Amino acid sequence: MTPTKDALGREFDERPWGTYTVLDDEAKFKVKQITVHAGKRLSYQSHEKRSEHWFIVSGEATVTLDGEVSVVGPGHTVDVHVGTKHRCANEGTEPLIMIEVQYGESFGEDDITRYDDDFGRADQ
């Protein structure tokens, strides 16, 4: 999966679960708008070099943090600390839109350990 550019020249990618657009990409942080399609979820994963802060814009997010599940809606935030196993799912019928702020040392795919994935990308 290779990211492309949107009409404004920002990094954009379609994934099996939805889409993301990079809004800002700096040395110590990255900001993404993430859309999760109805009935889809991201992999259950962790990071060793970054933390994440999610702000739910619309829809409902079913969030799993180290096995604990909660449901949050618009205006709510979620903090994902380094090393925390986490997943975001959209169990609703409308798109889930959130802003994700990543902060730390690395923001690449090489800092993702996947434990479970609906699309066959879990680490073996």
User: Is 16-116 assigned to CATH 2.60.120.10?
Assistant: yes
Q: Which of 32, 90, 86, 80 is nearest to 59 (CA)?
A: 90
Using pLDDT thresholds of 50, 70 and 90, give the confidence band for residue 8. Answer: confident
Domain ranges of the chain: 16-116
Question: pLDDT tens, 39-71?
Answer: 999 999 999 999 999 999 999 999 999 999 999
Q: How wide is the angle at C-alpha 113 spanned by C-alphas 110 and 119, nearest 5°? A: 100
Using pLDDT thresholds of 50, 70 and 90, give the confidence band for residue 1. Answer: low
Using pLDDT thresholds of 50, 70 and 90, give the confidence band for residue 101. Answer: very high
Please give the model's pTM, rounded to 2 decimal places: 0.92
pLDDT at 38: 98
Report which residue type is found at 66: D
